Structures are given as structure tokens and as C-alpha cells.
Amino acid sequence: MNDLPEYCLDLAKRAKRASAELSGVTGQQKQQWLRRAGRLLTERSAALVEANDLDVTAAPSFGLSDAAVDRLRLNPSRIAGMAKALDEVAALPEPVGEIISSSIRPNGLEVQKVRVPLGVIFFIYESRPNVTADAAALCVKAGNAVILRGGKEAVHSNAAIAAILAEAAAQTGLPPDAVQLVTTTDRAAVDHLLHMPEYINLCIPRGGEGLIRRVSAEARMPVIKHYAGNCHVYLDRSADADMAERLVINAKCQRMGVCNAAESLIVHRDVAQALLPRIGKALGERGIEIRGDQRTRQLLPQAKPASDEDYATEYLGPIISCKVVDSLDEAIEHINHYGSQHTEAIVTGDLQAARQFTSRVDSSAVMVNASTRFNDGGEFGLGAEIGISTDKFHARGPCGLNELTSYKYVVYGTGQVRE
């Protein structure tokens, strides 16, 4: 594209205009849009699969693994899943206009804190094509215009899905630019857009840590970041043995490639002898390699030595690091040092230990006697999520509709002036 800067500027300006127009769109219209888009996706299954075939055919030229090609592939059942997800977002409560709090001041002023959209969201993703529909649905339901930038491997699929979202928008009275797709695969387009804070209010990159670091370094607007999920399970000295085994196995093994899976097991020395052999056996039966400190290896001869780097690693696969500690304090310090502030769990029967752990561990979610796998928008009751933030600013943990909004103060008076 020769005129890339103008193309990006035009995209951004259209989005800003659409975001202003969205303030006149009702919640009902947004629901109609989502349901209409869902129906169109289903009706156009054949055309979507055809567009997707172009991506699947080209996939080997991008060096995609078989597993990645499988994730890329659309079929009627996956398309029905996308449509169902849109219906679910439609059914979530309307976030815009919610009065978050209100008070009447002594001088009679009524001060309301009202939920409002952020404005324009730039969403960058590397994932499966269904993310195109999911992300657009959440951003626009929260009243924002969205600029989508998908991976080059899914360019035909994403274009087909975005076209359907736009068509449904036109049919239901939403501004057609509420959802726009960056149509060039030129990477420079991302940098141009990241330098437009006057048009774009928030950027959400979803993908590997490299993408997120690159985007954060370039962006001139706020970025909701999801770095690593190096999640810990700590077995306190009062841990129930059965519960400890069940939670460790669930946290590590139920789904290994996700951010809220456990990567590290910390065990109080008083229960190491009782717990580590049985948990080590259970992990071994599931093909998990254990990398431990010296005390771990004394109890688990099959364990390999753990390096400092192991304790800092998000494996996303069949390896777990393990450490025996002398105290709850040491466990907390280890977790705060090596963790990624994502999700940690304690297994304990001791009230004081639970309170110490929850108050001093500095992570987006801290679980007491529950699996790390529960850190998730759906599980927390937020509805669908656009990601899990490891930031402490604006949004932390699962980001649903509310995390895609801001607020304003609306003040009603009867002519009050300030003395």
C-alpha cells in the first residue's frame, strides 16, 4: 500500500466518528445487531468455509504446524459456535449508562457516576478466526468502535467474518464503521495506528509475549497487557492431602496450554514427605516432568534439577517446577519474586495462612482451596472475556464488558454555584 499513513488515518477517523454515533444507539439495537450477525454467519457457512479454505491452503507457506492449521480451520459446527457466542454476548446486561454510584451532596447536587464507552479500541490478535467475531461483539456491546487487526494466516477468513458483522450493522442501524478490519498485512500499519492516541483510546494485543512487548513499547495510548501466566499452587502445612492432589492435578493437567494452568508447585516442608510422593506419582502417570530443588529430589528421585530459570518459566506444557519451603513467608516471597502476577492458589485448612496468602500475594487472582483454572471471566460470572489482564491499572484479571468501559460524572443541580 503506497498511502499507508493516509489509509490508517482514515481508518482511525472513521472509527472515532462511529464511536460518537454509537452514543445514539440503543442497547436493543446492539442486541439485534449481534443476533442478526449470528444468523448471517450460520446462513453463510458455505461461503465462510470457502474463504477459510484459501487461508488453510496458504497455511503451509506461513510455516503453520498441523495443530495451528487445525485451529485455523472453520467448519459448520465451529461457525455455529461463533454464532452462539454472539447470542450470548447479546444476552449480557447492557453496560452503557449503568449508574455505578450516586450521592446527593449537602448542597443538593445529585452526583452520578455513569458507565460510558472508552471510545475506540484497537484489537490486535494472532489467534483463530472466531476471535474476530468475539472481540468485535464485546467491544461494540460496550459501546466502542473497534479496529481489528488479525494474523496474516487468517486474512481471508477474518475479512469474510468482518464483512458479515458490517452487513448486520447496516441492517440494524449501527454505524458500519463500528467494526473495521485492517485490510493490509503490512506490519507498518500497526505502528501507524499505535501512534494515534487522539483517535484510539485503548489497544488490546492478544498473542505471544513478544507481540505484547512490541505493542506496549510502540503504543502512545494505554494498552491492556496479558503477559505470562506463571501460576503457582502452594500446599500449606495444613493442606488436606486429597484436596491437594486433586487441585494440583486439575491446575496442571486439565488443560496445559492455557494461561491459568499451574506451572509451579510449592510445598511446605512439614507436609512434603506426606504429599510429594503421591502427587509426584499422579503427575508422572499423566506424563508430567517434575523439576525440583534438592529437597524435592530427595523425595522424588525421578525429578530433574530445577534452575532459577525454571521457576520463572511458563511451560504451557507437561513440565512443572517444584520447591519445598520452610514457611508460608518463604512461599509468598518465592511467588511474588518468580510469579507473573496472574493466578496463585493455596491449599490450607488454616484461616490465618489463607488470609496472609490472599493479602500478600500480589496477583490478579488468589485462590483458597480452588484450582488456578478458575481465573476466567465466565467462571467469575463476568460473562465473556476479551482477555485476562496482568496489569494492575484500570483492569486486572478477566476483562469482560465492564473492563471495556470508562465512566463520567453526571451532575444534576438546580442552579447551584460554588461559594
Stretch that binds a copy of itself, among 19-27, 55-63, 188-196, 280-288 (CB under 8 A): 19-27
Q: Which window, 34-42, 54-62, 64-72, 242-250, contacts a copy of itself (CB under 8 A)? A: 242-250
Q: Is 358 in the site for a copy of itself (CB under 8 A)?
A: yes
**Binding of a copy of itself at residue 7 (CB under 8 A)?**
no
- Contact (CB, 8 A) for 140 and 178: yes
> Grid coordinates in use for 408?
463520567
Interacting positions 372-411 with a copy of itself (CB under 8 A): 373-375, 379-381, 391-394, 396-398, 406-411
Q: How far is the CB of 374 from a copy of itself (least distance, A)?
A: 6
Which DSSP state fits 75? -
Q: Which residues, 6 or more positions from 97, have their beta carbon under 8 angstroms from its beta carbon?
A: 114, 115, 116
Rg (C-alpha) for the chain, rounded Å, is: 24
Determine the size of the site formed for a copy of itself (CB under 8 A): 65
In three-state secondary structure terms, 192 is helix
- CA-based end-to-end distance of the chain: 59
Counting contacts by CB under 8 A, is residue 316 touching a copy of itself? no
Helix (H) or strand (E) holding 319: strand 319-325
Asked whether position 365 contacts a copy of itself by CB under 8 A, the answer is: yes
Binding of residue 100 to a copy of itself (CB under 8 A): no
CA angle (176 as vertex; 90, 150 as ends), nearest 5: 75
Per-residue DSSP letter, 373: G
How is residue 347 annotated by DSSP? E
Can you tell me which of 201, 313, 340, 390 binds a copy of itself, judged by CB under 8 A? Answer: 201
Stretch that binds a copy of itself, among 60-68, 184-192, 238-246, 290-298 (CB under 8 A): 238-246
User: Angle CA(213)–CA(308)–CA(230) in degrees, nearest 5?
Assistant: 50
Asked if residue 250 binds a copy of itself (CB under 8 A), the reply is yes
Q: Of 6-14, 151-159, 306-314, 368-376, which segment contacts a copy of itself by CB under 8 A?
A: 368-376
Question: Which residue, 70 or 362, has its beta carbon nearer to a copy of itself?
Answer: 362
Quote the crossing angle between the two packed helices 45-58 and 155-172, to the nearest 10°: 150
Entry field: residues in the chain: 419
Should residue 349 be labelled a site residue for a copy of itself when binding is judged by CB under 8 A?
Answer: no
Looking up cell 488468589, which residue turns up? 366
| Amino acid (1-letter code) at residue 121 | I
Quick one: which of 126, 240, 314, 330 contacts a copy of itself (CB under 8 A)?
Answer: 240
Q: Which parts of this chain interact with a copy of itself (CB under 8 A)?
A: 20, 23-24, 97, 103, 105, 109, 111, 114, 116, 118-119, 201-202, 222, 240, 242-243, 246-247, 249-251, 254, 336, 354, 358-360, 362-371, 373-375, 379-381, 391-394, 396-398, 406-418
